[in-house]
């Protein structure tokens, strides 16, 4: 049972030893000066100088200078060769280093492997290795896989919903519209799916709120009148239809209701500036730290903070009474505080401020009636 693993260990050990010997064997041999051939070259040069002198090719003075130079080189080469001949001590040290490396390196490597390695661990299956490659595949390959999956299973609503925002980010707007429609059809209608479809339709139309897109936003608002994305695009539709006042009302109302840190607020402010309107500041919602701080407040301190927020809302509405949502919040706030006289007064102020807008007046009347206020 263990014959094959033992044989493999032996083969690996022999291969390691052979590799180390191939590197270290030259260190165990004495360095012999290849001086014979070098000295012969210098002697040949001396003979050649003598032949040139005898043939009259060079003068006696030149021949003498050449012989002197070659002789100097010959002496230097001889001395260097003698200095490079290995002494017995140097040879012994190299052989000891070679022997130590031959024994210690394999032992250290084997010890590390036995401590940290897993010699009995089976090989990783091919399918698992391929799965690891797939995990690092580029985005285009993943999209191609998802598309192939949806070709085989076109009724996978979850797949369409996952793929739609990817298409949108990549600028494949027509594909995003198709994915959004399929997700809506297969997964059912929600506010988010309707507004997401409208957004994809706007992108596919180069920023124009088409009739189909407007229909999706209207449907989303029918499900949730406060849906921010649909409200923004309905404002954009009004602007594109030549109704800047209506667009401004929609966007100003969004800002008035916006929390202080609303991530979408800058886009709405830019849209209002484009219309030439001053963005509303609104009533700032308390921050998370402020809400947490109310836990340590006394009842009187907490009531004072709420009264301050309500007072700021009332002051703003006295300056700009066109904000029906603000009036509704103010009336509700007075009722919650138990100040019904102020609630009645706020409702009356709202009716006067909204006298030219019957639809907004009707909302105030319905709220007052629902809260049991005087007509």
Q: Which residues, including other chains, have CB under 8 Å from residue 178's CB and lie 6 or more apart?
A: none
Residue 121 lies in a domain: no
Answer yes or no: is 146 within a domain: no
pTM for this entry: 0.43
Question: Which of 282, 305, 338 delimits the end of a domain?
Answer: 282
**Under DSSP, is residue 100 helix (H, G, I), strand (E, B) or coil?**
helix
193 in the same domain as 97: no
What CATH number does the domain containing 210 carry?
A: 1.25.40.10
Are residues 108 and 175 located together in one domain of the fold? no
Query: What CA–CA distance (Å, rounded) separates 64 from 368?
Result: 130
Domain count, the chain: 4
Write the CATH number for 309. Answer: 1.25.40
**Looking at the domain assignment, is residue 193 inside a domain?**
yes
In this structure, the answer to whether residues 226 and 276 fall within a common structural domain is no
How far does the chain reach from its first CA to its final CA, in angstroms? Answer: 98
Residues 21 and 76 in one domain: yes
Contact 181, 210 (CB under 8 A): no
**In a shared domain, residues 92 and 23:** yes
225 plus 252 within the same structural domain: no
Listed residues 65, 94, 116: the one ending a domain: 116
Tell me, yes or no, whether 194 lies in a domain.
yes
Same domain, 14 and 110: yes
pLDDT, one tens digit for every residue, the chain (375 residues): 444 455 656 666 677 666 666 655 655 555 444 444 455 665 666 677 777 777 666 667 666 766 666 666 666 655 555 444 444 455 566 666 666 666 666 666 666 655 555 555 555 555 555 555 455 457 778 888 888 888 999 999 898 998 999 899 888 999 999 999 999 999 999 999 999 999 999 999 989 999 999 999 999 999 988 899 999 999 999 999 999 999 999 998 888 877 766 778 888 888 888 888 887 665 444 444 544 454 556 666 656 666 777 788 888 888 778 888 788 888 888 877 778 888 888 888 888 888 888 888 888 888 888 777 875
Please answer whether residues 342 and 373 qualify as being in contact, where contact means their C-beta atoms are separated by less than 8 angstroms. Answer: no
Radius of gyration, alpha carbons of the chain: 46
Same domain for 346 and 258, yes or no, is no
Residues 95 and 158 in one domain: no
Same domain flag for 272 and 324:
no
One domain for residues 261 and 316: no
Host domain of residue 269: 244-282
Q: Is 112 part of a structural domain of the chain?
A: yes
266 and 189 belong to one structural domain: no
For 135-168, the pLDDT digits (tens) are: 545 777 888 888 888 899 999 989 899 899 989 9
- In terms of Cβ atoms closer than 10 Å to its own Cβ (0-12, 13-18, 19+), residue 291 is exposed
Residue 252 lies in a domain: yes
């Amino acid at each position: 049972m263990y014959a094959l693993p033992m044989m493999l260990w032996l083969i690996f050990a022999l291969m390691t030893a052979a590799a180390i010997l191939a590197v270290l064997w030259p260190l165990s041999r004495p360095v012999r000066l290849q001086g014979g051939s070098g000295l012969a070259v210098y002697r040949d040069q001396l003979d050649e100088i003598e032949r040139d002198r005898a043939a009259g090719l060079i003068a006696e003075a030149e021949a003498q200078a050449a012989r002197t130079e070659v002789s100097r080189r010959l002496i230097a080469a001889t001395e260097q060769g003698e200095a490079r001949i290995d002494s017995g001590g140097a040879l012994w040290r190299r052989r000891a280093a070679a022997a130590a490396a031959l024994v210690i390196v394999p032992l250290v490597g084997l010890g590390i492997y036995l401590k940290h390695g897993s010699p009995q661990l089976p090989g990783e299956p091919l399918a698992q290795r391929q799965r690891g490659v797939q995990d690092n595949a580029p985005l285009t390959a993943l999209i191609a896989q998802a598309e192939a999956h949806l070709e085989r299973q076109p009724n996978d609503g979850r797949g369409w919903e996952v793929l739609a925002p990817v298409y949108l980010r990549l600028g494949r707007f027509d594909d995003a519209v198709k994915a959004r429609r399929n997700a809506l059809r297969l997964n059912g209608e929600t506010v988010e799916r309707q507004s997401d479809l409208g957004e994809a339709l706007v992108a596919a139309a180069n920023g124009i709120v088409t009739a189909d897109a407007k229909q999706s936003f209207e449907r989303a608002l029918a499900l949730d009148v406060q849906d921010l994305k649909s409200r923004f695009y309905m404002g954009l539709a009004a602007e594109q239809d030549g109704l800047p006042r209506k667009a401004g009302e929609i966007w100003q109302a969004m800002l008035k209701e916006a929390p202080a840190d609303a991530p979408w607020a800058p886009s709405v402010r830019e849209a209002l500036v484009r219309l030439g309107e001053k963005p509303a500041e609104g009533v700032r919602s308390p921050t998370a730290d402020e809400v947490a701080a109310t836990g340590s407040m006394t009842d009187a301190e907490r009531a004072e903070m709420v009264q301050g927020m309500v007072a700021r809302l009332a002051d703003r509405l006295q300056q700009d009474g066109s904000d029906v949502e603000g009036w509704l919040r103010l009336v509700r706030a007075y009722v919650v505080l138990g100040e019904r006289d102020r609630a009645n007064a706020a409702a009356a102020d709202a009716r006067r401020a909204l006298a030219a807008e019957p639809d907004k007046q009707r909302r105030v009347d319905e709220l007052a009636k629902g809260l049991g206020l005087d007509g």
